[in-house]
Amino acid sequence: MNQFLEKYDLQHTIGTGAFSEVKLAVERATGQKFAIKIIDKLKCKGKESMIETEVNILKRVRHPNIIQLYEMYEFSGKIYLVMELVTGGELFDEIVGRGKYTERDASKIVQRILCAIEYLHSMAIVHRDLKPENLLLSDKTRNAKIMISDFGLSKFFNDDEVMKTACGTPGYVAPEVLRRQGYRNEVDLWSLGVITYILLCGYPPFFDPNNVELFRKIMAGKYEFDSPWWDNVSEKGKMLAQPRILLHLTKDFVRKLLVLDPNERYTAAAALRHPFIVDYNNGPMDPM
């Protein structure tokens, strides 16, 4: 038996992605449960050693809102990544279930994602594939933490393939990625703009059944705050109980992220200082 199977009892599938299958595993010695991401080596042919280097970097990532990666194994033509297990499912399903979020709830989720992105960027790691399917909930309670998964490895898969796969929704891709201008940190803030938009109204800012049309819309940066869905989302400052004046400027926050020019787009640090984030997150620390 190989080292991996000696250490872990591999069980049923708990999720599938565009490039991988995720299974539950129990560490034999401790009974502790883990999620194992299994990647077919054919899908990242010739890049195995690069992946190993990247995994060694990703193993150093420690953040309460980022799913921890522990180990990597390779056998039978597959790569096995041992990760922290979460049990709350995908944020995507939660959005579908709720329809949309209040500004306050959206702000708290976005604040946690921003902290995690700022941390990753400080370690020179770009997620590049932020979308609700890659945002998981730690457990099934109302106080579940939002956890980022699937970071850092998407660059090993061919861009064309990512865009062609039916399961990978291309609606979150930044315009500079579509223009093949090369990409940096800023792509994650674009994707976060798309996620924030969806949280607030329940549907995406860029949508078209035809991918060519969809990409055209993204590259033109054309989206609307449609009536009536956005009518009650705060635009200008709203005066609330004195002495505090709340200036949520929620639409302004989305506008600062969905900016075509990556150099003009908000950074994670700037976004964390925006009133939409600050005003809802200055009370006692929330578990989210």
**Catalytic sites, residue numbers:** 129
Smallest separation (angstroms) from Mg ion to the CB of 63: 18
Smallest separation (angstroms) from Mg ion to the CB of 134: 5
Q: Facing residues of 146 across strands? A: 137
Q: What distance in Å separates the CA atoms of residue 235 and residue 230, rounded to the nearest whole number?
A: 9
- Is 37 marked within a binding site? yes
Smallest separation (angstroms) from ligand ADP to the CB of 20: 4
Nearer to ligand ADP, 61 or 271 (CB): 61
Nearer to ligand ADP, 35 or 194 (CB): 35
Smallest separation (angstroms) from Mg ion to the CB of 283: 32
Angle at 212 between CA 207 and CA 218, to 5 degrees: 50
Instruction: Output phi, psi for 165, to 5 deg.
Output: -65, 135
Name the binder of 37 from ligand ADP, Mg ion, none, CB < 5-8 A by kind. Answer: ligand ADP
**Quick check: 132 and 95 in contact, CB under 8 A?**
yes
Q: What distance in Å separates the CA atoms of residue 90 and residue 147, rounded to the nearest whole number?
A: 9
Strand pairing category for 69-75 and 20-27:
unpaired
Q: What distance in Å separates the CA atoms of residue 126 and residue 186, rounded to the nearest whole number?
A: 9
Name the binder of 186 from ligand ADP, Mg ion, none, CB < 5-8 A by kind. Answer: none
Q: What distance in Å separates the CA atoms of residue 247 and residue 253, rounded to the nearest whole number?
A: 11
Nearer to ligand ADP, 22 or 214 (CB): 22
The verdict on whether omega for the bond into residue 228 sits within 30 degrees of 0, i.e. cis, is yes
**Quick check: 265 and 183 in contact, CB under 8 A?**
no
> What is the contact surface with Mg ion in residues (CB under 5 A)?
17, 134, 150
Cβ within 8 Å of residue 222, ≥6 positions away: 206
Nearer to ligand ADP, 12 or 60 (CB): 12
Smallest separation (angstroms) from ligand ADP to the CB of 212: 23
Name the binder of 112 from Mg ion, ligand ADP, none, CB < 5-8 A by kind. Answer: none
Where residue 40 falls (left for φ over 0; alpha for ψ -120 to 50; beta otherwise) is: beta
Burial 83-120 (b: 16+ CB within 10 A, else e): bbbbebbbbbebbeeeeebebeebbbbbbbbbbbbbbb
Nearer to ligand ADP, 67 or 201 (CB): 67
Six-digit token string for 75: 């056998």
> What is the contact surface with ligand ADP in residues (CB under 6 A)?
14-20, 22, 35, 37, 67, 83-86, 90, 133-134, 136, 149-150
- Numbered residues of the known binding site for ATP: 37
